[in-house]
């Protein structure tokens, strides 16, 4: 994330210009290709990816909720993560699809603020939940005998609810402050969705205090990533000490999916928001944005379903149950 603070002369100039400019009512995205440049070619692949993300995460969420064998802390956290992924992508991708087939790639100011709030709040919730999942695996591998005493159903419910509540509350003050800022032009967002820094750069006032808050958010990302990384380093160390190869393989299989999701999620977020004063070319900026808004959610259902035998069996049972219900419905009609 770019932390360059606006200079006093720049702020004074923007304020002087704002007196002669009308209030902005909408923002224009410049990161999308135009219709004549073949934007429709991107529409259908993105639509298919979005459909896969929604269906895949719905299957995982439903399989865990309906299968009593998966009613344990690990799968409970996975199901909630899948539920959050559905709304995380829904906050961004439908508007992307709309812009790809529209001549005017625009969003109203209120819609932009809502998109920023829900996208980042859901992302915060996922990051906190990934930390919780790492701690859960740490306790399971490093203290297996005390695992069920520590990770009680009540604690799991509190951790899950706390992740979502805290994720939505942490960004609320910043969005409220941004909603009070004057936007008087220009109104072009050099990105494919409403993000904090591109929007703040369009404000006709000093935004240094909000950018300081963004620095705090960056520090939070780093600390969260370190907590998860240290947890998995400790987990790997303990697993390598297991004498039997079968025991090591079983322990690794329960953590491999979480580790891969962590690397994809925090890797893409770090590229996007921990760049500090570096600026990327527009094409690279768009590619990074697509990585953590589209590609990371695309791979998560694959990782959690294909690499997990219990999850695959639960999804198969769920699909078979749907077929049986469909047949019984037809026969009853």
* Cβ-contact 69, 314 below 8 angstroms: yes
Q: How would residue 185 be classed by pLDDT, with cut points 50, 70 and 90?
A: confident
Q: What is the mean pLDDT of residues 213-242?
A: 84
Quote the number of domains for the chain.
1
What tens digit of pLDDT does each residue of 62-73 get? 999 988 888 899
CATH, residue 57: 1.20.1070.10
212 vs 228: CA distance, rounded Å = 25
| Nearest in space to 27 (alpha carbons), one of 201, 221, 281 | 201
In a domain, 187, yes or no: yes
142 assigned to some structural domain: yes
Non-local CB neighbours of 284 within 8 Å, separated by 6+ positions: none
- The answer to whether residue 242 is domain-embedded is yes
Residue 101 lies in a domain: yes
pLDDT at 115: 96
pLDDT value at position 17?
Answer: 46
> In angstroms, rounded to a whole number, what is the distance separating the alpha carbons of residues 270 and 128?
15
What is the arithmetic mean of pLDDT over 217-221? 79
The lowest-confidence range among 212-216, 226-230, 320-324 is: 320-324
Cα dist from 75 to 64, 156, 246, whole Å: 7, 11, 22
Residue 215 lies inside a defined structural domain of this protein: yes
Question: Are the CB atoms for 140 and 55 separated by under 8 Å?
Answer: no
Q: Is residue 20 part of a domain?
A: no
Mean pLDDT score, 30-53: 82
Domain of residue 69 covers: 26-275+283-308
Domain-embedded: residue 19: no
Residue 325 domain-assigned (yes or no): no
Q: What global pTM score does this model have?
A: 0.84
Highest mean predicted confidence (pLDDT) among 44-58, 173-187, 224-238: 44-58
């Amino acid at each position: 994330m770019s932390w360059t603070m606006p200079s006093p002369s720049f702020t004074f100039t923007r304020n002087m210009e704002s007196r002669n400019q009308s209030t902005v009512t909408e923002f224009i995205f410049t990161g999308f290709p135009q219709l004549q440049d073949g934007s429709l070619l991107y529409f259908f692949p993105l639509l298919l990816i979005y459909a896969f993300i929604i269906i895949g995460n719905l299957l995982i969420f439903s399989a865990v909720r309906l299968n009593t064998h998966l009613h344990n802390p690990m799968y409970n956290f996975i199901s909630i993560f899948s539920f959050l992924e559905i709304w995380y992508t829904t906050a961004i991708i439908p508007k992307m699809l709309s812009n790809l087939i529209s001549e005017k790639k625009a969003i109203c100011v209120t819609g932009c603020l809502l998109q920023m709030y829900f996208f980042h709040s859901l992302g915060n919730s996922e990051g906190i939940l990934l930390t919780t999942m790492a701690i859960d695996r740490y306790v399971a591998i490093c203290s297996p005998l005390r695992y069920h005493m520590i990770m009680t159903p009540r604690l799991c419910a509190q951790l899950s609810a706390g992740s979502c509540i805290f994720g939505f509350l942490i960004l609320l003050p910043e969005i409220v402050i941004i909603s009070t800022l004057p936007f008087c032009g220009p109104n072009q967002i050099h990105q494919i969705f409403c993000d904090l820094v591109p929007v703040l750069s369009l404000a006709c006032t000093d935004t240094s205090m909000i950018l300081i808050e963004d620095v705090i958010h960056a520090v939070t990302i780093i600390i969260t990533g370190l907590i998860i990384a240290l947890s998995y380093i400790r987990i790997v160390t303990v697993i390598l000490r297991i004498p039997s190869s079968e025991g090591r393989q079983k322990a690794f299989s329960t953590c491999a999916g979480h580790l891969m999701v962590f690397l994809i999620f925090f890797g893409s977020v770090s590229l996007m928001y921990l760049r500090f004063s570096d600026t990327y070319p527009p094409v690279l900026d768009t590619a990074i944005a697509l990585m953590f808004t589209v590609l990371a959610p695309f791979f998560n259902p694959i990782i959690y379903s294909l690499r997990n035998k219990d999850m695959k069996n639960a999804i198969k049972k769920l699909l078979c149950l749907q077929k049986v219900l469909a047949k019984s419905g037809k026969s009853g009609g």
